[in-house]
């Protein structure tokens, strides 16, 4: 018997990936699943991006690249930040990894370890706390509530800071809540950190191109000059360009942090995929109408989702303006029996709902928010209508 390591045994499987896998298995067994689990655009990658990858592969870009990415892809990322956010960064500040999840992992591994604390506002994206724990550092969770629109206040941040704080993790627009902090709100948080700690900020901005209505994304690195040596910006192509399978994420950070991440990556994966890097250049430099079209579609789905959820008794939605998630409180039905099964928490709620109505949501507990569930609306209108009709019917069956 091979003994499993302490590290592996201490990591929880990703709840979002697990929910997606469950849906895939049911579908393979011929069952119609109303799947709202994975945060993944249902669109295929735009054609001009695929064409660039094909051209790169046929043109011989099939070899290892520099560990942190090609000079061309780094230049494209710098150009994109300059034009989208007015943020000036240099190629030495950029490292490309196999998805933003990998960038976050490498950034944490480069900076923190046992004895260090990382502040994470809840609800947080499932992987944050485990990625922090895998380094040996301690996640310090700061609870936010629907009343504040799931936003952490400067006072809450100040109270969470200790001499051991090494990183504050921010995620706006947020997965799972969709919350978008305003520029002023982020300035207040940054100023609180700068005044009370030497810690760095890891700002995950992967949903930056997906905001709706008047909400605007903020590149936190642009807020204060003092952040120059203190901030790691994370983003990637998965969400904005419908490129989840290409595994393209990146970090923009002080050169010393990039160098440390580069060393880790050189032992881990050698480099990101050469063909995917060529595709990423086409995504960032190419026509951006595809992003606008997908955003428009997500905006319409968001409206539809909220309209239908609002009509379901027992589902209390906290509306937000970013990403593609609806996060809602279903604790009103905890204690009720559905088809003979009593639902007691977000996990039993999601399991019972999937078993009985084939509607697949992700339990809030995985995001550090018991009582809630997450629905990804990155799927077509017919699925949203059909799935939410099923959800309404199932909710009404609770006794
Ligand atoms: N950050 C957030 C907040 C996310 O929701 C995701 C989900 N994919 C990621 C990072 C990682 O994305 P990827 O690894 O596909 O680039
Ligand atoms: N980030 C997406 C989600 O939250 C995709 C799955 C994952 O990487 O966790 O569903």
Express each pLDDT in 86-127 by its tens digit: 999 999 999 999 999 999 999 999 999 999 999 999 999 999
Q: Considering the entire predicted model, what is its pTM?
A: 0.97
Ligand 1 neighbours by CB, cut-off 6 Å: 39, 99-101, 125, 171, 175, 204, 206, 236, 238, 244, 249
- Distance between CA 162 and CA 300 in Å, rounded? 43
pLDDT per residue over 310-341, tens digit each? 999 999 999 999 999 999 999 999 999 999 99
- Helix or strand or coil: residue 287? coil
Q: How many other C-beta atoms can be found within 10 angstroms of the C-beta atom of residue 322?
A: 26
CA-based nearest residue to 227, from 44, 87, 85, 381? 87
With a Cβ cut-off of 6 Å, ligand 2 is lined by: 14, 16-17, 38-40, 101, 125-127, 175
DSSP code string of 88-107? ---GGGEEEEESHHHHHHHH
Closest CA to 359 of 336, 339, 385: 385
SS3 49: helix
Angle between helix 47-58 and helix 274-285 axes, rounded to 10 deg? 140
pLDDT tens per residue across span 282-309: 999 999 999 999 999 999 999 999 999 9
Strand bridging mode 316-317 / 325-329 = antiparallel
192 sits in which H/E element = helix 183-196
Pocket test for ligand 2, best of 99, 100, 123, 126 (most atoms within 8 A of CB): 126
| Domain spans in the chain, listed from the N-terminal domain onward | 6-44+290-396, 63-286
Inform me whether the pLDDT recorded for 277 exceeds 90: yes
**Looking at domain 63-286, which CATH architecture does it have?**
3-Layer(aba) Sandwich (3.40)
Do residues 320 and 178 touch, judged by C-beta distance below 8 A?
yes
| Shortest-distance ligand to the CA of residue 126 | 2
Give the ligand at the shortest distance from the Cα of 174: 1
CATH number of this structure's domain 6-44+290-396: 3.90.1150.10
Question: What is the residue whose two structure tokens read 């695929």?
Answer: 50
């Amino acid at each position: 018997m091979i003994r499993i390591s302490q590290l592996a045994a201490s990591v929880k499987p990703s709840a979002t990936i697990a929910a997606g896998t469950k849906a895939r298995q049911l579908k393979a067994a011929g069952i119609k699943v109303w799947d709202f689990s994975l945060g993944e655009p249902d669109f295929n990658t735009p054609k001009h991006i695929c064409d660039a990858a094909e051209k790169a592969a046929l043109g011989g870009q099939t070899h290892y690249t520099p560990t942190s990415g090609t000079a061309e892809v780094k230049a494209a990322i710098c150009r994109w930040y300059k034009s989208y956010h007015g943020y000036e960064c240099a190629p030495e500040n950029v490292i490309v990894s196999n998805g933003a999840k990998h960038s976050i992992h490498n950034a944490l591994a480069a900076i923190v370890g046992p004895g260090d604390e990382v502040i994470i506002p809840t609800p947080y994206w499932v992987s944050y706390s485990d990625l922090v724990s895998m380094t040996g550092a301690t996640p310090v969770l700061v609870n936010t509530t629907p009343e504040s629109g799931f936003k952490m206040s400067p006072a809450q941040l100040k109270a969470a800071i200790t001499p051991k704080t090494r990183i504050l993790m921010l995620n706006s627009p947020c997965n799972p809540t969709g919350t978008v902090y305003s520029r002023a709100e982020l300035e207040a948080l940054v100023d609180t950190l700068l005044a009370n700690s030497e810690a760095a900020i890891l700002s995950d901005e992967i949903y930056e191109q997906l905001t709706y209505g008047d909400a605007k994304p903020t590149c936190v690195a642009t807020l204060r000059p003092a952040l120059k040596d203190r901030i790691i910006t994370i983003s990637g192509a998965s969400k904005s360009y419908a490129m989840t399978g290409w595994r393209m994420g990146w970090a923009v950070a002080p050169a010393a942090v990039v160098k440390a991440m580069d060393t880790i990556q050189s032992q881990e994966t050698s480099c990101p995929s050469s063909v995917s890097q060529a595709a990423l250049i086409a995504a960032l430099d190419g026509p951006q109408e595809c992003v606008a079209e997908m955003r428009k579609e997500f905006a319409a789905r968001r409206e539809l989702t909220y309209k239908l959820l609002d009509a379901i008794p027992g589902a209390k939605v906290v509306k937000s303006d970013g990403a593609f998630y609806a996060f809602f409180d279903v604790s009103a039905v905890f204690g009720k029996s559905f088809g003979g099964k009593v639902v007691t928490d977000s996990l039993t709620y999601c399991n019972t709902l999937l078993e009985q109505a084939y509607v697949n949501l992700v339990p809030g507990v995985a995001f550090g928010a018991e009582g809630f569930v997450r629905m990804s609306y990155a799927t077509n209108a017919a699925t949203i209508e059909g799935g939410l009709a099923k959800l309404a019917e199932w909710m009404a069956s609770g006794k």
